[in-house]
Structure 1
Amino acid sequence: MTTTATPDTRRNASPYLYGEEAAAVARVLEAGQYGHTDVTEEFERRIAEFLGVRDVVAVMSGTAALHTALLAAEVGSGHEVVVPSMTFCATIQAILAVGATPVFVDVDPATLCVTDQLVMDAVSDSTRAVIPVLFGGRAIDFSRVRKKLAARQIAIVEDAAHAFGSRNGARRVGATGDLTCFSFGPIKNLTCGQGGIVVPRSFAEASMIRRLRMLGVAQSQTERAHTTSYSVEGFGLRYQMSGINAAIGLAQLDHFDKVETTRRRLWHAYRRALVGLDGVTLVDVDPDRSVPHLCQVLIPHRDEVHAHMKARGIGVGVHYPPNHLQPAFTEWRRELPATEQVGAQVLTLPFHQHLTEADVGQVVTVLGQSLKTVGAASCARS
């Protein structure tokens, strides 16, 4: 049977807008101030309230969040940072940006996340931070090892780029007491167009990250408006979030209950539809506690199935090619058997709020047809 793809299964994930974002941006444009503004500070207050934390610091991207969080944790030259290879390369680049060395670790194939034991096995006397990546939106419980890491002055810096809104037990991710970094890029659970935040562990860290994001300047924008000078107190970068991006995020935040409901419903729809496919393993994102960001399967003949589904108009992808196999990171390559196995099998299915449950059924139908076609061709060659 031939299936014609709909536009929503054909296209890759795109931002889901609620209709108020353009007006919110227009108000900022009309005000004439496009940098860090009171809109940015309102966004920080609203996000902190949503997460149930005292403070957050808004920056221009998730990568900037990771970079400044590592600096706030005093990670630098001579230090090691334990990190899964199965993540976007931005995580690794942030480590290199502070002069530290990445120590790649394996993942649990069922979740594509690290475990506390995998991390502790890689910790050394040179370790200054560990970065659990909350893959697909799934929280990672480090409660058993948090005190051990703290006793060795090792910071936990959560890469929660996929996990805004997810829960770790009763609390939102970000409220567990660790340095936590979120991304609000174009296709994240909540988008600012571009942006990120850091949840600091202390007032001192919050102050440091605020200086870092504004070229080392100690005074806030409001304070600088009432003085003839300002104080540059150290290294800094232009990492602040603009009021334009914050306005988009505020408009999005008002509808986050819909994000949670829709993403969980679509993920569960995939799980039901995939039950009948042999040889397909659904990566578990713990959907009842997470706000799923991705829906992924592990399959045989991944590259061929990917090409077959693309040819049929289905917007599949791969998240991510393992970093320890990348040319830029060859110096730190090590054997990671689970990561290498899932790296060759993982396929990301279309997953965004434009989808319907009928679209999900169509994707799974084409996946089943592709597996049969590719499998038959493989048998014929052997």
Structure 2
Amino acid sequence: MSASSKPDARRNASPYLYGGEAAAVARVLESGQYGHSDTTEHFERRVADFLGVPDAVAVASGTAALHLALIAAEVGPCDEVIVPSMTFCATVQAILAVGATPRFVDIDPATLCVNGQLVMDAVGPHTAAVIPVLFGGRPVDLTAVRGALDEQGVVVIEDAAHAFGSRNGTRRVGTSEALTCFSFGPIKNLTCGQGGMVIPRMPKDADTIRRLRLLGVGQSQSERSNATTYRVDGFGLRYQMSSLNAAIGLVQLDAFDTTERTRRALWRAYRRALAGLEGVRLVDVDPDQAVPHLCQVRVPNRDRVFADLRARGVGVGVHYPPNHLQPAFAQWRRPLPATEQVAEEILTLPFHQHLTEDDIDQVRAALGQALTAAGGVPCARS
């Protein structure tokens, strides 16, 4: 699909391609090198250069990135990992995959993210790691508590699935001393079709993750191709990124300046359109810092508004049902009042690069009509 083949502009999310992705994939198909190859390694170097970091390790998905980062940080059974409940379930499943226990924490309702105080209040004797989720592309600044976390041996692993390209001050997300995990799924700010990336803290992390992502095999592809055998150094998984996915990512990265400008402009257009709409509270983001991934509001009578908008053909969504209320994670349930309140009100509006300002005005009009039909009143301020 090229940039000109515009889907229904009111869908909640839609992949955006620049037109060169198909040719890039065709070149890989013609090469016969479909798996991990020089194309994947080139993509790694390009992402590292874009961020200004020494290394980046491409993997099969954002979930794989989190799983491998936890293993590299030596998190395992008997350990607890602090994580907000307001995140996609993949974050929690990665914790369970290493045998650790999620310690669910509340969020700041203004940002839908954790902050330093919420994290420190949850640190206990078994805490091994904290996973701040950069919800909607918002950076999470734990600078004020990093010293205390380091003293207690708590590793920071950023779930930056929504936040490729965002900044924390003058620095891109991924340039802190945390292990940072990106997702390059179909509707992310940068897509590879499917894929992820780990930004390591040190060369040791990079070496560990590269071995783990290819079934524990220690040699590089060139070393294996020039030998009669290969060496398995330990446990591993098939988590490498294919060249086909990396080829898409390279085209997307070349156009990321446009992605960044477009997503920020669309978010500002939503902010203008929603200003003064009674009963709607925009979940704010600083578009000078974040590359927005979602546009979300808090509304009264959310379920009725959701159903009404869907009936009008507006592709709204809910990101996300809290994990501590999910049946699979019930044994770790604890009261999280801010999360539970937000979960009853949150609504994700259509947000993707196919949108125009006219589309946004149509969504605004439909939202106003849905609120009236639902008997909407202004949200409680919190």
**When the two structures are superposed, what TM-score results if normalisation uses the length of structure 1?**
0.96
Q: Call closer, same or farther: CA 1:78–1:371 in 2, change over 3 Å.
A: same
Matches within 5 A, 1:167-182: 167-182=167-182
8 Å CA contact 1:182, 1:196 repeated in 2: yes
Matches within 5 A, 1:213-224: 213-224=213-224
Q: Call closer, same or farther: CA 1:180–1:322 in 2, change over 3 Å.
A: same
8 Å CA contact 2:177, 2:201 repeated in 1: yes
1-structure distance, mates of 2:303, 2:85: 20
| 2:127 is equivalent to residue 131 of structure 1 | no
Q: Which residue of 1 aligns with 2:23?
A: 23
8 Å CA contact 1:9, 1:315 repeated in 2: no
Mind listing any 5+ residue stretches in structure 2 that lack a counterpart? Answer: 1-5, 378-382
Mind listing any 5+ residue stretches in structure 1 that lack a counterpart? Answer: 1-5, 378-382
8 Å CA contact 1:211, 1:217 repeated in 2: yes
Structure 2 residue identity aligned to 1:331: Q
Q: Which residue of 2 aligns with 1:205?
A: 205
8 Å CA contact 1:129, 1:156 repeated in 2: yes
Q: Cα distance, 1:231 vs. partner? A: 1.2
2-structure distance, mates of 1:330, 1:253: 40
Q: Which residue of 1 aligns with 2:254?
A: 254
Q: Call closer, same or farther: CA 1:80–1:376 in 2, change over 3 Å.
A: closer
Matches within 5 A, 1:151-166: 151-166=151-166
**CA displacement, residues 112-151 of structure 1 (integer Å, 9 cap, x when unaligned):** 0001100110000100000000000000111111111111
Q: Which residue of 2 aligns with 1:344?
A: 344
**CA displacement, residues 12-34 of structure 1 (integer Å, 9 cap, x when unaligned):** 31110111000000000111111
What secondary structure is seen at the aligned counterpart in 2 of 1:145?
helix
Q: Cα distance, 1:11 vs. partner? A: 2.4
Structure 2 residue identity aligned to 1:60: A
Q: Cα distance, 1:7 vs. partner? A: 5.6
8 Å CA contact 1:165, 1:260 repeated in 2: yes
Q: Which residue of 2 aligns with 1:11?
A: 11
**When the two structures are superposed, what TM-score results if normalisation uses the length of structure 2?**
0.96
Q: Call closer, same or farther: CA 1:376–1:241 in 2, change over 3 Å.
A: closer
| 2:224 is equivalent to residue 229 of structure 1 | no
What secondary structure is seen at the aligned counterpart in 1 of 2:8?
helix
Structure 2 residue identity aligned to 1:344: E
Q: Call closer, same or farther: CA 1:86–1:271 in 2, change over 3 Å.
A: same
1-structure distance, mates of 2:376, 2:244: 52
Structure 2 residue identity aligned to 1:209: I
Q: Which residue of 1 aligns with 2:281?
A: 281
8 Å CA contact 2:59, 2:213 repeated in 1: yes
Matched residue pairs, number?
372
Q: Extract structure 1 runs of 4+ deviating beyond 4 A.
A: none
What secondary structure is seen at the aligned counterpart in 2 of 1:236?
coil
Q: Which residue of 1 aligns with 2:3?
A: none
Q: Call closer, same or farther: CA 1:241–1:117 in 2, change over 3 Å.
A: same
8 Å CA contact 1:86, 1:339 repeated in 2: yes
Q: Call closer, same or farther: CA 1:376–1:294 in 2, change over 3 Å.
A: closer
8 Å CA contact 1:87, 1:323 repeated in 2: yes
| 2:361 is equivalent to residue 357 of structure 1 | no
What secondary structure is seen at the aligned counterpart in 2 of 1:375?
coil
8 Å CA contact 2:59, 2:195 repeated in 1: yes
CA RMSD of aligned residues (A): 1.2
Q: Call closer, same or farther: CA 1:250–1:7 in 2, change over 3 Å.
A: closer
Q: Which residue of 2 aligns with 1:266?
A: 266
**CA displacement, residues 362-381 of structure 1 (integer Å, 9 cap, x when unaligned):** 1011001100011179xxxx
What secondary structure is seen at the aligned counterpart in 1 of 2:304?
helix
Q: Cα distance, 1:360 vs. partner? A: 0.6
Q: Cα distance, 1:286 vs. partner? A: 1.8
1-structure distance, mates of 2:231, 2:349: 50
**CA displacement, residues 247-276 of structure 1 (integer Å, 9 cap, x when unaligned):** 000011110011110100010111111112
